[in-house]
A and B are shown apart, each in its own frame.
Chain A
């Protein structure tokens, strides 16, 4: 029995060595930055960006607010415009799942309420269930003051506990960053 399965496994390895030249990297990339921005802001005239470098004071305040350290010094917010109006914002960021980074995009309306959350790229073997619509839509309408605690404020996906938590952290962080760095500063 053992022998049979060793051979089976070997066969798979040989097959994939042949096949992998045609295969993409191990991450599953669901959107490009441009493609997702175009899809979300299809009714807007243009999308540009605002790059914000954190001051020490901002970093301290935001970290205190989040209860976690920020890993980046600079954040890029995409801003969708129609004529003189701002239609919405987007932030692309990443958060560690179980072992690998998950790339998220969080979209906001002009007031800073979450309008959409997407998984842009996923690298874990398991837990991609966080892509499901019924999970992601729980974040819609959330503001920086809302708690996003998995298992309490946000219903979790079975078998995706850490990915669930990663998304909740990413959305919370995006929301707080937008509020502190863009909305309250203009």
Chain B
């Protein structure tokens, strides 16, 4: 099924991206003489002197009707409230007009959505992001090798049904193409990363309560929810956001979210749990994600996030996770409990972010049994997974009047997928990873990145990496 659809999807996807890029291309600024000349002549088509005398009744056309006529204003006796007499400009388009009308009633019950398709297109937005990476990897004592990868090409499709219902999706092609070669799958995959309906429950302007149902991102850490390449430093996502929090981590589920008071946001979801069969010592929970692929569900998981923005430009978040992970082959239902906390700060050209994430996996002794007929344990996962990182950057051209950004940054990460492991046979090294690099954004939606990383293992060989990348979003 996936292979059959793939070529069409990719062609459509490419066309959409090409169109989107073309439409989204900014017009270059003309950096010429910037000095205004106060003596310059102007063309004033209408002056206030054209207006009706002050003793005439004011114009009071409802703003929704402002759009359609350039006819002379007509008096309306309905205004007798206090306040200024207001003369609206003929031809001023009111926001209600721009908003477009209803379309719900246009759906033909016999022809389905066909009749409304073109109207709906105005309310459907396309977006996307992508990143091309070059990695030069030098393991200690081995020959360096290079890797060139269109790591991700993503299409967002969002649709506003009306001001209370909306749909949002993220379709992702990883590693350029999906195929099998001689029966061996290439690394590429096509994935649904998000696909959910949001329903604003409360009427009026309240943002306090939304219902969300569909394929939902687990709201832990930073990158899992906010991963468009131009908005984070470093070519590759941080290790903690890959190895400890298995980004991009999403499952089917339902829950609520909202911002009941300004600066305080919450999310709470019931989603599908993990599958302990896929856990491993080196990549933690990563292989246990079900990805809504008709996988056997071992049980539910509960997750959420509380986020506080005490002042503009600073966000603090905390996110728990409690879930069941099977596996159904064994007589246990492994519990995975975790918590992550993070901050993001961006002020006066300075930026900082940090994440700490911890997971505990129960019954790892049982998971390490070797089933009859097998040669390896069901899973080598550690009982405790812990990771932390902090990052600082500064936009060195922040004081210049340009939207370009040039941000040197430094990040320090430490993670251990087998933290405090008592059995030496399953204990893997912890890693300390300093990263230094540079992000150059000619416009906020496009980034060129360079960085150097050293993977310093607590035991065993180290590794050096040089990474180059270009990323975009629209």
List the interface of chain A (C-beta within 8 A of B). Answer: 1-2, 4-5, 8-9, 12-13, 16-17, 19-21, 23-35, 37-38, 41-42, 44-55, 57-58, 61, 63-69, 74, 76, 78-81, 92, 94, 98-101, 103, 120-121, 123, 125, 128-129, 132-135, 138, 147, 149, 151-152, 155-159, 161-162, 165, 179-181, 184-185
Binds A, one of B87-95, B232-240, B369-377, B432-440: B87-95
Looking at the assembled complex, report how far the CB atom of B253 sits from the nearest CB atom of chain A, in whole angstroms.
8
A41 to B162, CA, bound (A): 32
Identify which of residues 159-194 in chain B touch chain A, using a CB-to-CB cut-off of 8 Å: 160-166, 168
Which chain B residue has the least Cβ–Cβ distance from A51?
Answer: B46
A51 to B70, CA, bound (A): 13
Whether B213 contacts A9 by the Cβ 8 Å rule is yes
Whether B85 contacts A45 by the Cβ 8 Å rule is yes
A49 to B162, CA, bound (A): 33
Whether A16 contacts B48 by the Cβ 8 Å rule is no
Identify which of residues 339-358 in chain B touch chain A, using a CB-to-CB cut-off of 8 Å: 344, 346-349, 351
Is B80 on the interface with A (CB-CB < 8 A)?
Answer: no
Could you jot down 22 A-B contacts, CB within 8 Å? A8-B213, A20-B104, A26-B166, A27-B99, A33-B88, A33-B94, A37-B84, A38-B81, A38-B83, A38-B84, A41-B84, A44-B84, A47-B86, A53-B44, A54-B43, A55-B42, A61-B40, A65-B34, A76-B92, A149-B398, A152-B399, A181-B42
CB < 8 Å: which of A8, A69, A147, A161 contacts B27?
A69
Which chain B residue has the least Cβ–Cβ distance from A158?
Answer: B315
Binds A, one of B57-65, B144-152, B326-334, B460-468: B57-65
Whether B46 contacts A180 by the Cβ 8 Å rule is no
Is B272 on the interface with A (CB-CB < 8 A)?
Answer: yes
Whether A155 contacts B347 by the Cβ 8 Å rule is yes
Is B309 on the interface with A (CB-CB < 8 A)?
Answer: yes
Looking at the assembled complex, report how far the CB atom of B22 sits from the nearest CB atom of chain A, in whole angstroms.
15
- The interface residues of chain B lying within 8 Å CB-to-CB of A46 are 54, 58, 84-87
List the interface of chain B (C-beta within 8 A of A). Answer: 27, 29-34, 36-38, 40-48, 51, 54, 58, 60-64, 66, 81-89, 92, 94-96, 98-105, 107, 123, 125-127, 158, 160-166, 168, 197-199, 205, 207, 213-215, 226, 231, 252-254, 259, 262-263, 272, 290, 292-295, 297, 309, 311-313, 315, 344, 346-349, 351, 395, 398-399, 401-403, 444-445
Whether A1 contacts B297 by the Cβ 8 Å rule is yes
* Chain A residues touching B, majority SS: mixed
A81 to B163, CA, bound (A): 36
Looking at the assembled complex, report how far the CB atom of A176 sits from the nearest CB atom of chain B, in whole angstroms.
8
CB < 8 Å: which of A21, A92, A120, A152 contacts B395?
A152
- The interface residues of chain B lying within 8 Å CB-to-CB of A157 are 309, 312
A16 to B168, CA, bound (A): 15
With A34-B63, A125-B166 as contacts: A49 and B87 at CB distance below 8 Å: yes
A2 to B83, CA, bound (A): 58
Which chain B residue has the least Cβ–Cβ distance from A56?
Answer: B43
A165 to B433, CA, bound (A): 34
A46 to B53, CA, bound (A): 11
Whether B346 contacts A9 by the Cβ 8 Å rule is no
Whether A17 contacts B31 by the Cβ 8 Å rule is no
Whether B398 contacts A152 by the Cβ 8 Å rule is yes
Looking at the assembled complex, report how far the CB atom of B97 sits from the nearest CB atom of chain A, in whole angstroms.
10
With A55-B42, A149-B401 as contacts: A26 and B346 at CB distance below 8 Å: no
A16 to B47, CA, bound (A): 48
Whether B87 contacts A5 by the Cβ 8 Å rule is no
Lowest 8 A-B CB distances belong to which pairs? Answer: A20-B104, A67-B29, A27-B99, A26-B160, A32-B63, A155-B312, A121-B95, A23-B162
A66 to B472, CA, bound (A): 24
Which chain B residue has the least Cβ–Cβ distance from A165?
Answer: B444
Which chain B residue has the least Cβ–Cβ distance from A80?
Answer: B84
Whether B163 contacts A28 by the Cβ 8 Å rule is yes
Whether B95 contacts A120 by the Cβ 8 Å rule is yes
CB < 8 Å: which of A23, A34, A69, A180 contacts B163?
A23
Which chain B residue has the least Cβ–Cβ distance from A154?
Answer: B312
Whether A125 contacts B198 by the Cβ 8 Å rule is yes
Whether B197 contacts A12 by the Cβ 8 Å rule is yes
Which chain A residue has the least Cβ–Cβ distance from B158?
Answer: A125
CB < 8 Å: which of B89, B162, B290, B293 contacts A20?
B162
A181 to B46, CA, bound (A): 13
Whether A45 contacts B54 by the Cβ 8 Å rule is yes
CB < 8 Å: which of A34, A54, A76, A99 contacts B86?
A34
Looking at the assembled complex, report how far the CB atom of B31 sits from the nearest CB atom of chain A, in whole angstroms.
7
With A25-B102, A45-B84 as contacts: A16 and B95 at CB distance below 8 Å: no
- The interface residues of chain A lying within 8 Å CB-to-CB of B103 are 20
- The interface residues of chain B lying within 8 Å CB-to-CB of A181 are 42
A57 to B41, CA, bound (A): 9
